[in-house]
C-alpha cells in the first residue's frame, strides 16, 4: 500500500475504527452524540482548513457541474451518518455494520457506470473475499433484524459508496468543504435532541466526545479529504473495509475481550482481500522481474 493517498486513507480508517470504543463511554442519546461530535468536528475543520476549503480549480464551464457534485457528495455523506445511527436503533449493531459495509459493491458499480473506473480481476477477487469475510466477522452478533432496520443499514452502505464516487468525480473541487457541509446536517438535526435531552457531562463523557469530534472525525476528515483526491473511489472504499477488523482490536486492547474464532477468521480474510486490492498480495507469481 504505497503512496501518500493510501497511507492517509489507512490512517483515516484507523481513526474511524475507534468510534465504537469511545461511544461506549458516553451514556447519551445517539442523536446527541452524533450532533455534538459533528459540531466539534465543524469547529476543528474551520480552524484547520479556514479559507482554503472555499478555493476551487473549476473552469467557468465546469463550475455548475462541480457545485452539483459537491452538494451530492455532501448529501450522500450526511445521509450515511444519519442512516447509520438510525440503523443501530432499528436493528442489531452487527447487522448495521455488516450491511453498511456493502459499500464496496456500490462504489464499484457506480464508479464503473459514472466515471469508468473498472475493477480489475484481482479487485473482483478481493470483493468476493470481503463478501465472504464480513459475515464471519459478525456471525456471533448477527440476528434476525427488522426489515426496516436492515433496509436503512443497506441504504447507509449505498450512500457511503456513492459519496466516495461523487467526491472522486469532484476531485478538482474541495473535498474538505464537502465533508464540512456533511457535518452540518447531523449537527443541525442533533440540536433539538441536545436541548430536549441535555447530556450529563462527566470527565469520561467529555473526554470521549472531544476525542470523537477532534480526532475520530476531525483529523480523519482532513486525512480523507487529502486521500480521496489521490485514490480511485473503489480503492478508498476497499481500504475502508479494514475498519470493522480494527474495531474489535481496540475493544480487546481496552477490555481484554477476545473475538470469537470465526470472527478472527473473517478479519484475516478481509485483510487478505484489502492487500490483494492494493496489489500487495497476488494469488499468482508476477511475470515481471
* Sequential DSSP letters for 57-119: ---TTTHHHHHHHHHHHHHHHHHHHHHHHHHHHHS-HHHHHHHHTTHHHHHHHHHHHHH--PP
| Predicted pLDDT at 145 | 61
Break the chain into its structural domains and give their ranges: 4-277
| Predicted pLDDT at 211 | 95
Give pLDDT tens digits for 178-207: 888 889 988 999 999 999 988 899 999 999
Q: Tell me phi and psi for residue 102, to 5 degrees.
A: -80, 0
Alpha helices in 212-260 (DSSP H): 220-228, 233-240, 243-255
- Low-confidence residues of the chain: pLDDT under 50: 1-2, 59-61, 281-289
For the packed helices 4-16 and 233-240, what is the interaxial angle rounded to 10 degrees?
40
Residue in the structure block whose three cell numbers are 480487546: 252
| Predicted pLDDT at 63 | 64
Amino acid at each position: 500500500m504505497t503512496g501518500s493517498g493510501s497511507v492517509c486513507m489507512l490512517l483515516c480508517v484507523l481513526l474511524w475504527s475507534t468510534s465504537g470504543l469511545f461511544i461506549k463511554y458516553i451514556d447519551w442519546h445517539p442523536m446527541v452524540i452524533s450532533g455534538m461530535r459533528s459540531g466539534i468536528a465543524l469547529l476543528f475543520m474551520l480552524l484547520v482548513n479556514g479559507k482554503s476549503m472555499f478555493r476551487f480549480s473549476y473552469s467557468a464551464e465546469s463550475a455548475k457541474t462541480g457545485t452539483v457534485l459537491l452538494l451530492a457528495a455532501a448529501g450522500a455523506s450526511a445521509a450515511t451518518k444519519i442512516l447509520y445511527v438510525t440503523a443501530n436503533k432499528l436493528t442489531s449493531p452487527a447487522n448495521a455494520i455488516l450491511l453498511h459495509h456493502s459499500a464496496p459493491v456500490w462504489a464499484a458499480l457506480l464508479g464503473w457506470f459514472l466515471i469508468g473506473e473498472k475493477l480489475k480481476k484481482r479487485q473482483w477477487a478481493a470483493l468476493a473475499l470481503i463478501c465472504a469475510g464480513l459475515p464471519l466477522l459478525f456471525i456471533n452478533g448477527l440476528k434476525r433484524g427488522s426489515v426496516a432496520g436492515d433496509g436503512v443499514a443497506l441504504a447507509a452502505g449505498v450512500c457511503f459508496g456513492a459519496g466516495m464516487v461523487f467526491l472522486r468525480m469532484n476531485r478538482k473541487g474541495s473535498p474538505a468543504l464537502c465533508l464540512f457541509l456533511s457535518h452540518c446536517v447531523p449537527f443541525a438535526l442533533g440540536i433539538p435532541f441536545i436541548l430536549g435531552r441535555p447530556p450529563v457531562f462527566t470527565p469520561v463523557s467529555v473526554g470521549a466526545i472531544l476525542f470523537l469530534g477532534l480526532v475520530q472525525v476531525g483529523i480523519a476528515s482532513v486525512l480523507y479529504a487529502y486521500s480521496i483526491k489521490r485514490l480511485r473511489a473503489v480503492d478508498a472504499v476497499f481500504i475502508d473495509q479494514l475498519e470493522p477488523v480494527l474495531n474489535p482490536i481496540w475493544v480487546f486492547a481496552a477490555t481484554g475481550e477476545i473475538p470469537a474464532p470465526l470472527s478472527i477468521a473473517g478479519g484475516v480474510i478481509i485483510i487478505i482481500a484489502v492487500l490483494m486490492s492494493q496489489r500487495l498480495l497476488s494469488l499468482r507469481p508476477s511475470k515481471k522481474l
